[in-house]
Structure 1
């Protein structure tokens, strides 16, 4: 533990920027939020809050990233599933694709559980709203604080908010310059079964989530099953501290009344009984009552200023590592509220580099705010969810979405935020071994299907009726395991690699045992390409086939990574030989008659040519075995595939395409898709005639799938760096896909594989200043301005190369 702390202290000595960058780091608005998609989000990595900034009534909704329905995995809902695999393979050998699709239903288990909302704090102001003017609310992502302020009869009123990681509380301060003070009622409610009481100026709430639930799209009358003796329990404390005036406990309705205070401090703490993916949350649960009481006791012993200072210091330790300057926005445009800027940016096509920088840094802000809980990574909505039946259960969808959440963690200098994901993958490898045996008959290694949850569920979903195009996908573990090698490439931490290498190896073992031979080559059978369908020559629209390109692309990357990890650690030589032999026998990529990269074993048409998934391009990004330099023909086929798919797609898919186009070194198209990602989308429940629907960005800059999914934010953030810098184990390429709109700019603190940190400035699309730092020393080739330099570094060395 001490060594890890020292490691990161040394790391950050090289990652803190040398100069101050100007730039707008605020999302700001001139009216309260009416919808979630207008509200501002804060989080400390475990607790999150959604802020509406109301005047008559302020609503703050809360989440805890460990509050889920369900219990540890205990049974196999399809115990004979593995016996069906030979049947499916025989059907595919006979080209009976319809029969294979039908048989796939037999190889399906249960659905994931649902991520749950914690509750809502309501502050109801008892004064009338007459005389209110100059309303503003903002989120400053530079220090992770938010504020609502306005004048009431000429006197300033402010509400300040932040989510503290050091003190594990959410802090709200109300302050009025009016001598009559604040008059308000505070109440806390939860959509989950709960009880409330008030005493000593504190609202205490205890409740529990369902021990089992179904997704919103599953036809079941009873979506949630509750039992007070089962499921995850929680306790929430809301403490009110007044500088002056009075605070009254209203025992009859468990509310607190503020009467005449000019400054009030509200502290919110929560702890759940979740104690790990394999622990019963009641019988083996965390002592959530004592933990939350201890947190509150510590927090109330500190002043507001002390809490705020500790929070900002902790946050900026991570956030300040990277600075980006893409130019200046016109002052008149920059003065507009963020939602109006976004709308203007969409409709008028004018430049707004400040908004583009803000969106990039907002992605980093969201990752810091939602990914700091051991073994519990950011989910489909990060950690911000207000529904007991959220879209897609707000779970871990692993055929792209969970992985996209973490693409920016390495390059944008937030590699620690990937720890929750890595630990989660290790958990999955344990439950995934049983899934490999029970569902697929594979004795070695582990696998994962389409979805997971906080319980590290790995079985294929569907309950014997889910469409195979999404329910029967098998490559979740294959894809996720590649993050282990990626993490190592940014840190060169052999201790980390040694610890998690067995997880990567296990994923590779499953892949090799899952492959079968066809016409002398190795393919997967059965297989699907995530959520897409083909049309056979006789007109059948299906999902199940063999040798799908996405399967084989992910297997290639996983095997390459596992072999490299084995080599670095100096272990498993025979294992590496087996990988090498397997790679040589994999069915190769194919180019279709349209010049596209073929998605299926045969050159079949897609049911939807514009489909949002582009899984068969995995080898280009986030994989590394396809590139314009090493495989130019296949790279051209990838470009043709994207051309056919077009631009109109969902938010997360747009974010992925930014990265793909950047890897193709097409800066103008990558930038075009980045702008497309920042397309204004109306709140989901807004019904006006001017409503904007589809994929893009909501007024609060959260990603519109739609509905809200956070992955597009992270994909867009990653895409910016891919345009500015790309790297491999032995090469760094600067400005590989720079668009004309960013002809001048500078960036500091971005990370390259091999443990390097890059600070650079460019003008007229050429690098004019370059400083590269090395964490642990080594060699690399740096390419910029049409030249290539091979550079050798000592550990901790920083070199000015231009």
Structure 2
């Protein structure tokens, strides 16, 4: 009889697991993570992060807190730069690149810290006594509710664990239940790589970890952290040793984990970590897990549920996530692409919340004391890529930590601009950290890049484009002006062509073969594009605010003297002012295509020759690269209006690590692989899929601009946002045509819509065909200087598919519904 009961129970558990696997917003697996961090599942609330392994015998929950960093407030400017600057410039303009790089290494690269590290707090372990011969194993990450769950059966008893990082309660909650009373017995203890940590019990039901972060590169570690684990039992009993807690024969257990530090901001670490950790815990502890879960899910879904996507579903969607990953390149599994898309949004919500720190190279999840690249902020692409999905996938609030960091850097970067370059305004090089350092690090080959402030500050303008708030624009205008002012003082005249260029300069993180192995140069294409963008956006901001006429005039005059883009002998968009590109160069950085994306200086409609050159560059550089690079390429091919090529890159991105010989790919938990793990690839791919379905950068809202053949039969997406305060509530398509579009206007203005087929108003009214320039100020595009084209270049102008463009005058708060105009 007992055997029959067990078999029946197992049958129903398998049925439940199958039904769970059909949920399209879950990552699920039929085996534990083992000891592989990249198999564990991430949860987070912007401040607290955890990786949940789901192992049966010893559950491991690896813990992070966003302000646990090595070091303490510090600066890393090199005061020798200013004196050496004229000589470095003379060497560059004289073609002595290696000598210039050697001198830059001595005088520009920091003699102090090369940047501090984001550190783990440690691992919380739950070691169980009754785990032999488990069956019916299942674990999932429900990205619709932001909860991890593990279930299994031992001896006919069904065990369930749930783990979440509560948004409203600011703690991590772990709930354990069993189908039979008095079945939960386990030990709770910490381990940590932190050398200064103290682990002990505090009373009968608390386990604590505390300490101070490590010294690094001459900077004293001074961040104090405190973690408290408190247990609530139903039945059974709880005992403690010096460094562990033991649960015996409980019916259910809820574990509350609180972590806090003394960090207030980049120059103030006078907080009380003990008081903070206790306050979070004391607030949450009286609440049941069910109550915490309900409030948590509601707070999370306020953001997540704004966007829904349906690309269709096929048989592979019933497989575990790791099996789907292995099969994706060979099978048609459109729902897996949709899951990955929403997983990117889940990660952004989970690792970047208002009032917290921005997403690092690893987001909020790092298990190493000495992580790759210090798990800090690389601002020559990676940090910016983290936030590409924010505005357009309706997660504007998630960008607040980045915007705050830019404000911080506009303060710390003033000293760097003045002390190192004798310039006004502010600047940053290619890296920063929680202490908002702005000096040059990691060697001149990478570190002399001076556009960190120039690129980052444009996120401030981008945020305005989506919300239209003039008060916000006025608050950030001084930051835009300060970044532009640095370039006013730092730009110099190229003695050969008399353009204004940055010098010293470099194109991240590449070097022309003719420069003696040095990357150092003057006036690289990406830098010229960034300065052009910053000047243009600062001009427009000042004009909107009706201020700074004299400053605007200066920017316009200097913008006219910037170097134009060049098309080289191979028909490529040149990376440098000289025609130095090697068509066999497959470097992961293709920085000159910044002008294609995220900028809009290169357009198939407005600049067809540059568009052709950008396409040639993409083809020459190849498809497969490191993870974040492939993600950038998805966005570029979407801007190329080539959905099939973009989808080809998605398949490369969603390949298991090691399949692509050149690198890149995805881990079993769907983390992006550089390798190792970098979260920017996740965010870049989510951005790229959005660009395939909607763009709003080129003077209009373009629906289905790069829809791949594999998704054309039918699909829908809802909840996207476009520039000018437009909410794209619904796009429904069939056979590659937009069947229905519903768009809400939150600030009014002209809605210019580009679609692949004729449409009409839902009430039968005729649409007005658009003519001339879009007069909506949020859709202005800047006139680009005529490119200089090599006599050897072969330019093949694009043949573009026919589209239909309509103008709709909108009113604030009103919704506009269009449907396909079907042929009779």
Assess same fold via TM > 0.5: yes
Q: Which residue number in structure 2 is paired with residue 647 of structure 1? A: 623
**Cα deviation per residue 1:274-309 (whole Å; 9 max; x = unaligned)?**
110111x2xxx2122111111111111111111000
Instruction: Answer yes or no: is the 8 Å Cα contact 2:652–2:660 preserved in 1.
Output: no
Q: Which residue number in structure 2 is paired with residue 687 of structure 1? A: none
Change (3 A) 1:693 1:789: closer
- Pick aligned residue for 2:212 from 197, 201, 208: 208
Deviation of 1:541 after TM superposition, in Å, equals: 2.6
Q: How do 1:365-444 and structure 2 match up within 5 A?
A: 365-374=346-355, 376-442=357-423, 444=424
C-alpha distance in 2, partners of 1:329/1:40? 25
Q: Which residue number in structure 1 is paired with residue 261 of structure 2? A: 272
Q: How do 1:313-332 and structure 2 match up within 5 A?
A: 313-330=298-315
Give structure 1 regions of 4+ aligned residues with deviation exceeding 4 angstroms: 690-693
Secondary structure of 1:50's match? strand
C-alpha distance in 2, partners of 1:91/1:747? 54
Deviation of 1:127 after TM superposition, in Å, equals: 2.0
- Pick aligned residue for 2:187 from 185, 188, 204: 185
C-alpha distance in 2, partners of 1:640/1:153? 63
Matched, 1:799 2:788: no
Matched, 1:31 2:2: no
Q: Which residue number in structure 1 is paired with residue 322 of structure 2? A: 339
Q: How do 1:592-611 and structure 2 match up within 5 A?
A: 592-606=568-582, 609-611=585-587
Q: How do 1:579-618 and structure 2 match up within 5 A?
A: 579-606=555-582, 609-618=585-594
C-alpha distance in 2, partners of 1:589/1:729? 19
Change (3 A) 1:23 1:126: closer
C-alpha distance in 2, partners of 1:176/1:568? 62
Change (3 A) 1:631 1:72: same
**Cα deviation per residue 1:573-632 (whole Å; 9 max; x = unaligned)?**
222211211111111110010000001111113597100001111111001122111111
- Pick aligned residue for 2:271 from 269, 286, 309: 286
C-alpha distance in 1, partners of 2:817/2:131? 61
C-alpha distance in 1, partners of 2:563/2:528? 8
- Pick aligned residue for 1:728 from 697, 700, 710: 697
Q: Which residue number in structure 2 is paired with residue 9 of structure 1? A: none
Instruction: Answer yes or no: is the 8 Å Cα contact 2:507–2:519 preserved in 1.
Output: yes
Deviation of 1:128 after TM superposition, in Å, equals: 4.2
C-alpha distance in 1, partners of 2:698/2:725? 9
C-alpha distance in 2, partners of 1:306/1:691? 45
Change (3 A) 1:746 1:691: closer
CA RMSD of aligned residues (A): 1.6
Deviation of 1:190 after TM superposition, in Å, equals: 2.4
Deviation of 1:780 after TM superposition, in Å, equals: 2.2
- Bigger relative contact order, structure 1 or 2, given CA contacts below 8 A and separation 6+? 1
Q: Which residue number in structure 1 is paired with residue 507 of structure 2? A: 529
Deviation of 1:93 after TM superposition, in Å, equals: 2.2
C-alpha distance in 1, partners of 2:379/2:622? 24
Secondary structure of 1:185's match? strand
Deviation of 1:512 after TM superposition, in Å, equals: 2.1
How many pairs were matched up? Answer: 742
Q: How do 1:237-252 and structure 2 match up within 5 A?
A: 237-250=228-241, 252=242
Q: How do 1:448-487 and structure 2 match up within 5 A?
A: 448-462=428-442, 466=443, 468-487=444-463
Q: Which residue number in structure 2 is paired with residue 49 of structure 1? A: 50
- Pick aligned residue for 2:114 from 107, 111, 114: 111
Gaps of 5+ in 2: 1-21, 758-802, 820-824
Q: Which residue number in structure 1 is paired with residue 126 of structure 2? A: 123
Instruction: Answer yes or no: is the 8 Å Cα contact 1:155–1:178 preserved in 2.
Output: yes
C-alpha distance in 2, partners of 1:149/1:415? 35
C-alpha distance in 1, partners of 2:37/2:164? 18
Instruction: Answer yes or no: is the 8 Å Cα contact 2:167–2:296 preserved in 1.
Output: yes
Deviation of 1:694 after TM superposition, in Å, equals: 2.2
Instruction: Answer yes or no: is the 8 Å Cα contact 1:126–1:184 preserved in 2.
Output: yes
Deviation of 1:200 after TM superposition, in Å, equals: 3.2
Gaps of 5+ in 1: 1-21, 215-223, 683-689
Instruction: Answer yes or no: is the 8 Å Cα contact 1:680–1:692 preserved in 2.
Output: no
Change (3 A) 1:607 1:273: farther
Deviation of 1:187 after TM superposition, in Å, equals: 0.3
Instruction: Answer yes or no: is the 8 Å Cα contact 1:728–1:754 preserved in 2.
Output: no
Instruction: Answer yes or no: is the 8 Å Cα contact 2:752–2:807 preserved in 1.
Output: yes
**Cα deviation per residue 1:106-150 (whole Å; 9 max; x = unaligned)?**
2111301010001110000012413x1000000000110110001
Q: Which residue number in structure 2 is paired with residue 138 of structure 1? A: 140
Task: Compute the TM-score of the two structures, normalised by the length of structure 1.
Answer: 0.91
Change (3 A) 1:400 1:74: closer
Secondary structure of 2:328's match? helix
**Cα deviation per residue 1:135-166 (whole Å; 9 max; x = unaligned)?**
00000001101100011112210010111010
The answer to which of 554-563 and 697-706 deviates more is 554-563
Matched, 1:699 2:690: no
Q: Which residue number in structure 2 is paired with residue 781 of structure 1? A: 752
Change (3 A) 1:374 1:68: same
Instruction: Answer yes or no: is the 8 Å Cα contact 1:533–1:607 preserved in 2.
Output: no
